[in-house]
Chains A and B, each alone.
Chain A
Amino acid sequence: MSVLSKLKEALVCLRAGRVTLPYPAQPRPVPPRFRGRPIFDAAKCIGCAGCANNCPAREILVFDVCQEIRILKYLGRRCTYCGRCADVCPEKAITMSHEFENATNQIGDIQQTLELFMSTCQRCGRCFKEPSPLEQLKLKGYRFDDLAHDRWVFRSQAYLTRETAADDVNIDLD
Chain B
Amino acid sequence: MLKNLCRKMFGRSLWVYHANSGGCNGCDIEVLNVLTPYYDAERFGIRLVGSPRHADVMLCQGPAMRPTAQALRRAYDAMPAPKLVFAIGSCACGGGVWHDTYNVLGPVEKIVPVDFYIPGCPPRPEAILYGVAVALGLADKKTAPVTFKQAELPIPRYHPGDLRREGDMIVYTKVETWMRQPRG
Contacts and interface: CB of A to CB of B under 8 A. Distances in A.
Interface string B29-46: 000000001111001000
Interface residues of A, number: 45
B38 A79 contact: no
B177 to A, nearest CB: 17
A104 B141 contact: yes
A20 B116 contact: no
Contact of B121 (A19, A79, A106): A79
Contact of B148 (A76, A80, A115): A115
Contact of B40 (A20, A42, A45): A20
Interface stretch (A94-102, A136-144, A164-172): A94-102
B147 interface: yes
B155 A117 contact: yes
Contacts of A110: 117, 119, 143, 145
B126 A23 contact: yes
Contact of B94 (A102, A106, A107, A114): A107
Given A77-B90, A113-B145, A103 B97 contact: no
Contacts, number: 141
B174 interface: no
B150 A20 contact: no
A57 B97 CA distance: 5
Interface in B105-139: 107, 109, 115-121, 123-124, 126-127, 129-131, 133-135, 138-139
A111 interface: yes
Contacts of A23: 39, 126, 129-130
Interface size bracket, B side: 35 or more
B93 A103 contact: no
Contacts of B38: 19-21
Contacts of A45: 150
B96 interface: yes
A59 interface: yes
25 contacts: A20-B37, A20-B40, A21-B38, A40-B148, A42-B149, A57-B94, A57-B97, A77-B95, A78-B107, A79-B94, A79-B121, A100-B123, A100-B127, A101-B130, A102-B120, A103-B117, A103-B141, A104-B116, A105-B134, A105-B135, A107-B93, A108-B145, A109-B144, A110-B145, A113-B146
